[in-house]
């Protein structure tokens, strides 16, 4: 067997919550990483009713997130950064949602890391400008699923969790090389 200190240890199991912020729909995915293998524990969306005041929608997102955290007990969380398109009003509402998500995660004492859409696409597909279809197919492959999670927001949240798993593994390896 040799020196026990010299044996390669498998990385500990991690449970990662990936979040794709929105107001009407928030995508979430809970991914387990054990021994370098990713598996999907949960993947769906949280919805808020249309024509409901923003503050009530944010409260609903907060409560649903707290329930999700209590159910799955992730140890880490990752969230997609905002992409400001043409509609600034929508972007502001999504920013509020993102803040609520981050608050709920931090109140549980979890670290939360943010990734840009390009970083997520790059980590999942190898191409920072990949389309939604390509990201979805890679999510299916990387998590060995029979189909791409639906709706797109759920698949996007899974991509966020995968990005976090890959990025932190890469950073860990880089630290080992530099020490």
- CA terminus-to-terminus distance, the chain: 26
The residue with greater pLDDT, 31 or 175, is 31
Answer left, alpha or beta for residue 39, where phi above 0 means left and psi between -120 and 50 means alpha.
beta
* Res 36: pLDDT: 87
Q: What DSSP string runs through 114-176?
A: EE-HHHHHHHHHS-TT--HHHHHHHHHHHTT-SS--SSHHHHHHHHHHHHHHHHHHHHHHHHH
Q: Is 4 among the domain residues?
A: no
* Res 168: pLDDT: 82
Q: Is 46 among the domain residues?
A: yes
* Res 169: pLDDT: 62
Q: Is 94 among the domain residues?
A: yes
Q: Is 2 among the domain residues?
A: no
Give the span between the Cα atoms of 47 and 68, in whole angstroms. 13
Instruction: Give 52-108 pLDDT, tens digit per residue.
Output: 999 999 999 999 999 999 999 999 999 999 876 666 677 888 999 999 999 999 999
Structural domain tally of the chain? 1
The answer on pLDDT for 2 being more than 60 is no
Write the CATH number for 29.
3.30.420.10
Section 2-28 average pLDDT: 76
User: Which residues does the annotation mark as catalytic?
Assistant: 20, 80, 153
The answer on pLDDT for 128 being more than 70 is yes
* Structural domain containing residue 95: 10-178
Instruction: Give 142-171 pLDDT, tens digit per residue.
Output: 999 999 999 999 999 999 999 999 998 655
**Average predicted confidence (pLDDT) for the chain:** 89
Q: Where residue 174 falls among pLDDT bands split at 50, 70, 90?
A: very low
The answer on pLDDT for 179 being more than 70 is no
* Res 9: pLDDT: 45
Q: Is 159 among the domain residues?
A: yes
* Res 82: pLDDT: 82
* Res 147: pLDDT: 97
What percentage of the chain carries pLDDT values higher than 70? 85
């Amino acid at each position: 067997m040799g020196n026990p200190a010299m044996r390669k240890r498998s990385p500990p199991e991690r449970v990662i919550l990936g979040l794709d912020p929105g107001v009407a729909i928030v995508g979430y995915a809970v991914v387990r990483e054990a021994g370098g293998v990713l598996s999907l524990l949960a993947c769906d969306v949280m919805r808020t009713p249309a024509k409901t005041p923003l503050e009530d929608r944010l409260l609903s997102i907060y409560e649903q997130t707290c329930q999700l955290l209590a159910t799955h007990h992730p140890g880490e969380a990752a969230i997609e950064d905002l992409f400001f398109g043409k509609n600034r009003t929508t972007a502001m509402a999504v920013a509020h949602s993102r803040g609520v998500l981050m608050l709920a995660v931090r109140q549980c004492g979890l670290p939360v890391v943010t990734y840009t859409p390009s970083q997520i696409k790059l980590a999942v597909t190898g191409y920072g400008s990949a389309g939604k279809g390509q990201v979805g197919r890679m999510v299916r492959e990387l998590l060995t699923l029979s189909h791409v999670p639906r709706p797109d927001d759920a698949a996007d949240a899974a991509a966020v969790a995968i990005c976090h798993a890959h990025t932190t593994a890469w950073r860990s390896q880089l630290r080992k090389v530099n020490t």
